[in-house]
Structure 1
Amino acid sequence: APPGPGRRRMWAGGRVRTHGVLRCGEPATRRTRVVSVADKQGRSGPLTFVVVEHLISQGGRVVVEERQDLVYRPAAGSLPAVSGGEVVPAGAGEWAIEVTPTLLFRFSALTYNAHRIHYDRDYARDVEGYPGLLTHGPLQALAMAEAARARGVGGEVEFTYRLVAPLFDHQGLITSATKESDGVTTSVRDMHGRQTATGQLRGVA
């Protein structure tokens, strides 16, 4: 259960590890548990960090293991507006994704996320105090994973990612993936060069 009324839940990061192939058309079972809960004091007030684990099995074998890092923070106050500055176009090896209200609405529907901060601009601005529609953390993670896949990473992998700053629709989304000897390093930035997410993909031995 949430740590208290009026707290905002934010996605801080996570880890996805594949142990096999998740096959379409076959029954699957997902088991979820809370791994840990930790209370800390932040600059904006009390914070509660929660780690949730999901295990997806087929044929009696775990094929996908996921951990989600969530943080609950006070709802009072609004996020400071991020200054724009010079636009930094997507360069070689980067992938620019146009973030539109339609994209955010469809991703919300796809992930069964009914929170209005992702598709109702008036609510996001007037009630939550955000400067725009909030781009989903999992959408940024998916973009990083797809950028890594385009670099040739596949099979059984472990993907660890961290969300380091909020990203709003008017700020754009540009992702990149750099291949290294032991995997791929990925990231997301806005159109002005401000980094909002990082990730690493490694093959599972």
Structure 2
Amino acid sequence: MNEQTVAGRETAEHVVRTEVLTGGPAHALAGLIEVPEPAPGSGLPPLWHWVYLLDRPPRSAQGPDGHPVTGVPRPPGPGRRRMWAGGRVRRLDRLLVGEEATRRTFVRRSVDKQGSTGPLTFVTVAHEISQGGRVVVDEEQDLVYRAATAAGPGAPESAEVVPPEGEERRIVVDPVLLFRYSALTYNGHRIHYDRDYARDVEGYAGLVVHGPLQALLMAEAARARRPEVTAVEFDYRLVSPLIDHQGLVVSAVAGEDGALVTRARDDSGRTTATGIWRPLASA
């Protein structure tokens, strides 16, 4: 991309949110992705904290793309488009439903670069979720803000369909799934539910499947293989946009040193996200 670092920024700004974790969001998420609800007292599975402790800005704080223009992180400038590039999640212990939890959010680092299509800002947002006086989830999310140019043509369409093999799981992606996940996570980004906006403004070939949804489904594929693990680290990357009509298949296979290698792909076999799921020593 011919990028050149322009400046780096550090900020101490942070947001703290506290709430009692109720069973409703977990029940809704389990139904959405069609997996059993967590057993009472077992704690939320890895990444399920994404449906809790959410920011809910007023409508007046939303930009034309549906993203907030205030808060943490704050867009680096008007008209910049946000993309979720990946992240790292350390689930150190069970996050229990029915108890109070606190999330502290802050920008860990921000770096400006110049790309071939214009300015880019790479932002790492940190979330620390505490319960019972100690950190239970330690997370970093990697975001990219780019200039308001249309997206590229995307991956070429392929008539060949690669059917799921072995332990691969195919998820039916449709506008209802994407809308419900957006609603459950309070994600207003219009590329996930407004087809005209996604196509005519941001240049995608259809509705965009959420990167976090792909990461969550990869983590679920890993959890299905190692359900007994309490403490886990999940490192994931979103490598290519996935459009709703392209299909979604996820998998987790054995890697080195007890890790599981996860993958999300479309129906043609094109990889759209990858991850490494590693058990940790119990806290």
Give the TM-score band, short-chain normalised.
over 0.9
Query: Which residue of 239, 243, 264 maps to 1:164?
Result: 239
Pairing 1:71–2:144 present? yes
- The SS at the match of 2:100 is coil
Corresponding position of 2:273: 197
Query: Which residue of 191, 203, 222 maps to 1:129?
Result: 203
Query: Which residue of 146, 165, 168 maps to 1:91?
Result: 165
Corresponding position of 1:144: 218
Q: Which stretch has the larger CA shift, 41-50 or 9-18?
A: 41-50
Please, what TM-score do these two structures have when normalized by structure 2?
Answer: 0.70
- The SS at the match of 1:200 is strand
Please, what TM-score do these two structures have when normalized by structure 1?
Answer: 0.96
Query: Which residue of 10, 31, 37 maps to 2:83?
Result: 10
Q: Any stretches of 5+ residues in structure 2 without a counterpart?
A: 1-73
Deviations, residues 99-150 of structure 1 (Å, cap 9, x unaligned): 1100000000111001111011112112222110000000000010000011
Deviations, residues 26-81 of structure 1 (Å, cap 9, x unaligned): 01000011000011122322111000000000111110111100000111123213
Larger radius of gyration: 2
Pairing 1:155–2:234 present? no
Contact 2:250–2:262 (CA<8 Å) still a contact in 1? yes
- The SS at the match of 2:152 is coil
Identity of aligned residues (%): 65
Contact 1:118–1:134 (CA<8 Å) still a contact in 2? yes
Shift of 1:173: 0.6
Contact 1:117–1:123 (CA<8 Å) still a contact in 2? yes
Higher strand fraction (1 or 2): 1
How many pairs were matched up? 205
